[in-house]
A and B are shown apart, each in its own frame.
Chain A
Amino acid sequence: MTSFREFAETCQAVEKISSTIETTNKVSEFLRKVDVEELPLATHFIMSEVFPAWTGKQLGIGTSLLYAALSKASGMSVKSIEGLIRTTGDIGETALLILKEKRKNQVTFTSFLEEESEFSISDVYQRFITASEATGKGSQNLKIKNLQFLFNSSDPREAKYIARLALEELRIGVGEGVVRDAIAKAFDVPVDVVEHAFMVTNDLGVVAAAARTEGVEGLKKLGIEINRPIKMMLSQISPDIGTDIGDMKEAAIEWKFDGARVQIHKDGDSVTIFSRKLENVTNSLPDLVEIVRKHVKADSAILDGEAVAVAEDGKPRAFQEILKRFRRKYDVAEKAVSIPIQLNLFDIMYLNGDTLIYLPLRERRKALSSCVESSVENSRSISVDEQIITGDLKIVEKIYKEALDAGHEGIMVKNPDSVYSPGKRGKNWLKKKPLMETLDLVIIGAEWGFGRRANLIGSYTVGCYDPETTRFLQIGKVGTGLSDEQLKELTEMLSGLMGGEAGGVFAVRPKVVVEIAFEEIQKSPNYDSGFAMRFPRFIRIRDDKAPDEADSIQRIERVYSQQRKKL
Chain B
Amino acid sequence: MFKAAINAELLKDSIASLAVIVDEVRFRISPEGISVKAVDPANVAMGIFELGSAAFDEYSADECEIGVDLNKITDLLGIADRSDTVRMELDEVNQKLLIDVGGLSYTLSLLDPSTVRAEPRVPQLELPAKVVLNGADLRRAVKAAEKISDHMLMGISEDIFYMEAKGDTDKVRLEMGRDQLIDMKSGDACSLFSLDYLTDIVKPTNKINEVTLSLGRDFPILIDFAIANGAGKISYLLAPRIESD
A residues with a Cβ closer than 8 A to B are 72, 75, 101-113, 130, 137-138, 142, 145-146, 148-149, 152-153
Contact = CB atoms under 8 A, between A and B. Distances in A.
17 contacts: A75-B151, A75-B194, A101-B244, A102-B244, A104-B192, A104-B242, A106-B44, A108-B43, A108-B44, A109-B120, A112-B239, A113-B121, A130-B41, A137-B71, A146-B42, A148-B42, A152-B42
A145 B192 contact: no
A398 to B, nearest CB: 65
Interface of B is mostly: loop
B155 interface: no
Given A113-B123, A145-B40, A106 B241 contact: yes
Interface in B39-95: 39-44, 46, 71
A373 B217 CA distance: 78
A142 B120 contact: no
Contacts of A75: 150-151, 194, 241
A106 B46 CA distance: 14
Contacts of A111: 239
Contacts of B219: 112
Given A72-B196, A107-B239, A146-B42, A112 B23 contact: no
A343 to B, nearest CB: 42
B176 interface: no
Nearest to A103: B243
Contacts of A145: 40-42, 44
A149 B44 CA distance: 8
A551 B234 CA distance: 62
B244 A103 contact: yes
A104 B243 contact: yes
Interface in B88-129: 120-121, 123, 125
A127 to B, nearest CB: 8
Contact of A109 (B41, B151, B192, B239): B239
B238 to A, nearest CB: 10
B220 interface: yes
B43 A109 contact: yes
B33 interface: no
A138 B71 contact: yes
Nearest to B196: A72
B42 A106 contact: yes
A3 B237 CA distance: 28
Nearest to B150: A75
Contacts of B242: 102, 104-105, 107
A112 B123 contact: yes
